[in-house]
Structure 1
Amino acid sequence: MYIDEQSKPETSTNVFSLSGQIAVITGGGSGIGQAIAGCMHKAGAQVVLIGRREDALAKATEELGDRSSYLVHDITETQKSEQLAERLIADWGKVDCLVNNAGIHLKKPALDTSVDEFNSILETNVLGAHALISAIAPSMIKRKSGSILFVSSMASLFGIPQVLAYSAAKSAHLGMVRTLSTELSPHGVRVNSIAPGWIETEMSSKAFANDPARREKILSRTPMQKLGSPDDVGWAAVYLASAAASFVTGTVFPVDGGASIGF
């Protein structure tokens, strides 16, 4: 049995604080990833945003200000994962929390989805995350402290048409969470997943503008009868990374307004 001294709060009033933590967020330059970075930053963490688009990363860190930085990296270039991990440790000395948020989406009928398209979704959402975890987790194990988060989806919990590859990739996250948590938790590294419901983002707003009937259908089956905000996901990530969740591992945390249990 281990006692993670670094995660123990000084007082009960700061149990949700991430002060002193180094949080690495993939896909952190926009959307939900940016919101997670923002909430973790507000909770006191030093956040490091990872992504392919330097312009988006630079803008996001400029908005965050102090205690934020970025590294340009394409997680599908799995052969460079070790190099990225070494850079993170060299720059910050440790990684307390890794958020596997980077991902791509494909909306297409299942029988029209090509093998190449399927592979592309898996490379980013699954294989890229695995490579980064394999590179970073050993340093967490050595310190006997760390948190790994996946950003999954409602598509991993129930059937949604025309997202076969995406659903398969996000469902894979849940298997990864369960296996990784059984292997890593004895070493002080917790592994959890957040499954966002329908969140009001720039991407979803554009999609709903062209399909108002879909928006109404989503709201009709969501008990809270509204879309979530990116910060709803961000604050869930703060909780799972904090000392408040020190006995939480292997979980899938829906942030969905009740959609996963709605009728």
Structure 2
Amino acid sequence: MTKIALITGGNKGLGLAQSQLFLEDGYRVVVVGRTLGDFETLGSQFGDAARFCEADLATADADEVMARATGVFGAPDVLINNAGRHLKKPAWEVAPDEFDAVVNLNLKAMFGLSAAFIRLRKDVGGGAIVNISSMAGLIALPSAAAYVTTKTAVVGLTRSVAVDAAAFGMRCNAVCPGFIETDMTRAVLAKDPDRRRKIEGRIPTGKFGTAQDVAQACLFLAGERSAYINGVALPVDAGFSIGF
């Protein structure tokens, strides 16, 4: 039976790579996002196996989003909480509304959708949740207080949900990406090659990861090969967070 994955923010960046990999693996995928982004590339490649559900997760009602997503293919077997935002500011410069905006998307939306997913599936049992945290959920980063706060909280949320949802045969794990090669990082670091060299010098393998590296971790944690893994925050950072 074909499995269904709901991937938030699955229309660009790391999320797009996740959507592509799950589709290649035979899943039907519902992508939730504010705008289409690069979703059309999925539609042209995978046809009706990829569908888009428009929602601003920072403000939307989680149960309503889950109901609309379920109306596409049926109840999802997998929830990938990928949508998020960054804020590059030290703590003393972050305004209350800026902090709230990061918390609303990075944490509240994840909490709401995870709870809605559990309510949807608890009577039938099974299913997996994969939350995208960050190496910032494991270590401190400069000038990113709001972001680090939320990504650290994601690790705690993952562990708590893992314990609560296990009674229904569900698992919940987190992926903590390190420095990943994306269009954004390439654009930023192209202007500062010295910074790139410094970062690479602190990565044991000496290179950035790829969006596919993160997607592979998500696919593993969503599937049966990780059936006895629950409540884990998995770094995908080539060892950066161990303090090399």
Q: What TM-score do you get using the length of structure 1 for normalisation?
A: 0.89
The 3-state SS of whatever aligns with 1:29 is: coil
- Whether the 8 Å CA contact 2:58–2:101 is kept in 1: the answer is no
- Whole-angstrom CA distance in 2 between matches of 1:77 and 1:65: 29
Q: Which residue of 2 aligns with 1:138?
A: 119
The match for 1:118 is 99
- Counterpart in 2 of 1:243? 224
Corresponding residue number in structure 2 for 1:23 = 5
Q: Aligned-pair distance for 1:66?
A: 4.6
Q: Is the 8 A contact 1:201 1:230 kept in 2?
A: yes
Task: Give the match's secondary structure for 2:129.
Answer: strand
Tell me if 1:36 matches 2:44. Answer: no
Q: What's 1:187 paired with?
A: 168
Per mean C-alpha deviation after superposition, the further-off stretch among 177-186 and 211-220 is: 211-220
What is residue 230 of structure 1 aligned with on the other side? Answer: 211
Which moves more between the two structures, 180-189 or 66-75?
Answer: 66-75
Give the total of aligned pairs: 244
Alpha-carbon separation, structure 2, partners of 1:156 and 1:195: 7
Amino-acid identity (%): 35
Offset of residue 32 of structure 1:
0.3
Q: Mark the CA change 1:20 to 1:236 in structure 2 (over 3 Å): closer, same or farther.
A: same
Match of 2:60 among 56, 78, 87: 78
**Aligned counterpart, 1:12:** none
Which is bigger in relative contact order (C-alpha 8 A, separation at least 6)?
1
TM-score, with normalisation over the residues of structure 2? 0.95
Opposite residue 28 of structure 1, the aligned amino acid is: G
Matched, 1:89 2:70: yes
Q: Do 1:222 and 1:262's aligned partners in 2 also have CA atoms closer than 8 Å?
A: no
What's the RMSD between the two structures over aligned residues?
1.4
**Equivalent-residue separation in structure 2 for 1:198 and 1:63 (angstroms):** 28
Partners of 1:233 and 1:66 lie apart in 2 by 25
For structure 1, the 5+ residue unaligned runs are 1-18
**Structure 1 residue aligned with 2:196:** 215
Q: 2:108 aligns with which of 127, 132, 150?
A: 127
CA distance in 2 between counterparts of 1:182 and 1:57 reads 34
Letter in 1 for 2:53: L
Give deviations 1:234-261, integer Å, cap 9, x for gaps: 1111110110011111001111111112
Partner of 1:49: 31
Give ranges in structure 2 of 5+ residues lacking alignment. Answer: none
Deviation at 1:230, TM superposition (A): 0.3
Q: Given the alignment of the two structures, is residue 201 of structure 1 paired with residue 214 of structure 2, yes or no? A: no
User: 2:142 aligns to what?
Assistant: 161
Provide the C-alpha distance between the structure 2 equivalents of 1:77 and 1:139, rounded to a whole number of angstroms: 20
- Note the C-alpha offset of 1:119: 0.8
For the residue of structure 2 that corresponds to 1:148, the secondary structure is: strand
Q: Which one-letter code corresponds to 1:49 in the other structure?
A: V
